[in-house]
Amino acid sequence: MPISTEPSPAPRPLLGKIALVTGASRGLGAAVAVRYASAGAHVVLAARTVGGLEEVDDMIRAGGGTATLVPLDLRDFAKIDELAAALFNRYGRLDVLVGNAAEFGVFSPLSHIPPEIWSNVVDLNLTANWRLIRAMDPLLRAAPSGRAIFVTSAIGRASLAYWGPYLVGKVALEALVRIYAAEVANTPVRANLLDPGPLRTRLRARAFPGEDPKTLPLPDTVADLFVELASPECRRNGEIVSVSGDRMGG
């Protein structure tokens, strides 16, 4: 029998899955979306920047993947409900939800932060993710193995002066996702948080303006971890998965 010299096809652990990624127009969200598409998922790209969404769509299509573009400001909460209804009508389920969109805000003493800036940051970093859980939970439960992954940061657990709305949002997000994980523990749904560590993103540059971005890894270096947490085989639930010394340190 002749031995084939053709390379084995790349594994596609998310083949046929429907994945929604927020903040997908650049940075970490874009990297995760491209990786999910290469793993076989149809990716729903949600972000405010239409041009960025189109660029990510071009990358996905160049790799043979497929995507749906959803220009969306997550702070328009009613639009999240409309997106859930559209996903239900088209697919009847959602296999993977990635809550990645975030805003830094400003460095300021708590007493000096304008209320509109506080609201903008907390609405996006926290409340929008609760609205995503509220709207997408029935769709995740309708999937054979629904997976919800939210992006967090260890810096949120440090009580640093002048980081008010960003840190408050991240700490509360971790509590929110762990509560949700407890509520779905007896279902096939799994919900976790992923702390990707410092990455070369615009959000990082805003938080650390004096840092040389070339010293930081690119977002696509952690994209495989999102695939692992999205896979049907993943049994983790209610965990904060950190990118540290080992591949998936807790």
DSSP state at residue 82: H
Share of the chain above pLDDT 70, in %: 85
Q: How much is the mean pLDDT over the chain?
A: 89
**Annotated domain spans of the chain:** 18-242
SS3 content of the chain, % helix, strand, coil (to 5): 45, 15, 40
Class of domain 18-242: alpha beta
Identify whether the C-beta of residue 175 lies closer than 8 Å to the C-beta of residue 130.
no
Whole-model pTM? 0.90
pLDDT at site 201: 63
Residue tagged 């709305």 (tokens): 165
pLDDT tens figures, 42-58: 999 999 999 999 999 99
**Percent of the chain residues topping a pLDDT of 90:** 74
Q: Model confidence at 154, in pLDDT bands (50, 70, 90)?
A: confident
Rg (CA), the chain: 18
Q: What's the pLDDT at 210?
A: 63
Work out the average pLDDT over 62-71.
97
State the catalytic residues. Answer: 166
Rounded Cα distance, 31 and 51, in Å = 16
Q: How confident is the model at residue 159 (pLDDT cuts 50, 70, 90)?
A: confident
DSSP string computed for 160-177: -TT-HHHHHHHHHHHHHH
